[in-house]
Amino acid sequence: MAHTMMRRPLLIGSEIYRASTYGRNHPLAIPRVSTALDLARALGAVPDGAYRDSPRATIDQLARFHTRAYLAALEEVERTQRVSDEVRRRHQIGAAGNPVFREILSRPATACGGTLLALDLLAEPGIVYNMGGGTHHGRADRASGFCYLNDPVLGILTLLDRGFRRVLYVDLDAHHCDGVQDALSHDERVRLISIHEAGRWPHTGAIEDSGGGFARNIPVPAGFNDTEQDFVMAHAVLPLARDFEPEILIVQAGADALEEDPLSRLALSNGALWRSVVALLEVAPRVLVLGGGGYNPWSVARCWAGLWLSLNGIEPPARLPPAAEAVLRAVTWSRSAGRNPPDPWFTTLADPPRDGPISDAVRQAVDTVTRRHIV
């Protein structure tokens, strides 16, 4: 069903993201959801009735995937802001890039609550965008990759509980969705397709890796450009998606595959990501779009606000109006790239196209993944 035939898209966010930070020197010290929401509002793209405030998922809801012991540990750490050696070792809280911070349970539980709310809203066909979601590395009993909980897994399990038989998950983040694959790739009711940087943490998602089941992984090389993204979508992702005939689609639209991101070596423009998500809208009557990675505050905000415009069929302005520019000029970033940002990071929404040749590695990955296709 074409997205133009659906009801108006809905946007989910929360004020919890505005003041929450993982700590001064962490990649997630930056504002992301709040800036993207402010930018979309400054563009006049969030009309009355389009926005929903995210609830916080309850412990019982989170326990559909996460262990009670782990959730209890997160509750205690949020209360005390301290972590024992045993909890650190057992649950990776306060270790391996997963710091103790003030909203260590409340923030990820809000992301999960947004995804669960989105699924309620998708009882009828439509599009819902939960910007704070996409925490695809979280494990049942431990934190991983800046993700304390896993809202995609929680959402998919909820759909299966409700009787859905064909759930498609497409992940466009620069980092492989290892937590989702390990939890769900054995279930024939779920198909997972991931485009991610080869050799990048978490060092999973090789081309031959099906997760022991129904995952399809498309690792791509450093320098991956817009032309290559369009090629992968047209010749691998979209054919695989259409053949599965999903009842519902979940797209993780992390912004860390963009050229300016410090945690990948991919080279996409935000327009390539927007095109990819919009192209996928026709494969299912119900579509949930999630956020994900992204560690340059300007590129994330511009990407996610622009994605919201794209979901609504709105062309981005050639130059941002003063109110939108002011949102971006209010952002600071402690990394070296943030000391003298280029003017287009403040004045434009759409990146210039980053076209280029299609590498042999990309062609081979597409050929391999389509030959291994399972309907």
User: Residue 144: which CATH number?
Assistant: 3.40.800.20
Give domain status of residue 4, yes or no: no
Going by C-alpha positions, the residue among 139, 164, 152 that lies closest to residue 67 is 139
The DSSP bridge partners found for residue 51 are 11
Query: Would you put residue 203 in left (φ > 0), alpha (ψ -120 to 50) or beta?
Result: left
Full DSSP string of 86-122: HHHHHH-TTBTTB---TTTTHHHHHHHHHHHHHHHHT
CA distance 88 to 153: 23
Domain that holds residue 180: 9-55+105-371
- In a domain? residue 49: yes
267 found inside a domain = yes
Residue 246 lies in a domain: yes
Give 352's contacts (C-beta < 8 A, 6+ positions apart).
269
What's the CA gap between 373 and 375, in Å, rounded? 7
> What is the phi-psi region of residue 313: left when phi exceeds 0, alpha when psi lies from -120 to 50, beta otherwise?
left
Domain count, the chain: 1
E strand residue ranges, 165-281: 167-171, 190-197, 215-220, 248-252
**Is 328:39 a contact under the CB 8 Å cutoff?**
yes
Which residues have a catalytic role annotated? 137
**Residue 197 within a domain:** yes
CB 61 within 8 A of CB 116: yes
> CA-to-CA distance for 156 and 189, rounded, in angstroms?
10
Letter string b/e over residues 273-293, b meaning 16 or more CB atoms within 10 A of that residue's CB: bbbbbeebbbbbbbbbbbbbb
Reference 318, options 349, 359, 295; nearest CA is 349
137, 151 Cβ separation under 8 angstroms: no
pLDDT at residue 3, as a whole number: 41
pLDDT in tens, the chain (375 residues): 344 345 899 999 999 999 999 999 999 999 999 999 999 999 999 999 999 999 999 999 999 999 999 999 999 999 999 999 999 999 999 999 999 999 999 999 999 999 999 999 999 999 999 999 999 999 999 999 999 999 999 999 999 999 999 999 999 999 999 999 999 999 999 999 999 999 999 999 999 999 999 999 999 999 999 999 999 999 999 999 999 999 999 999 999 999 999 999 999 999 999 999 999 999 999 999 999 999 999 999 999 999 999 999 999 999 999 999 999 999 999 888 899 999 999 999 999 999 999 999 999 999 999 987 544
pLDDT of residue 297: 98
CA distance 35 to 18: 8
Question: Is the residue at 23 inside a domain?
Answer: yes
Residue 81 lies in a domain: no
66 occurs within a structural domain? no
**CA-CA distance, 361 to 230, in Å (whole number)?**
15
Q: Provide the pLDDT for residue 29.
A: 96
Residue type, 56: R
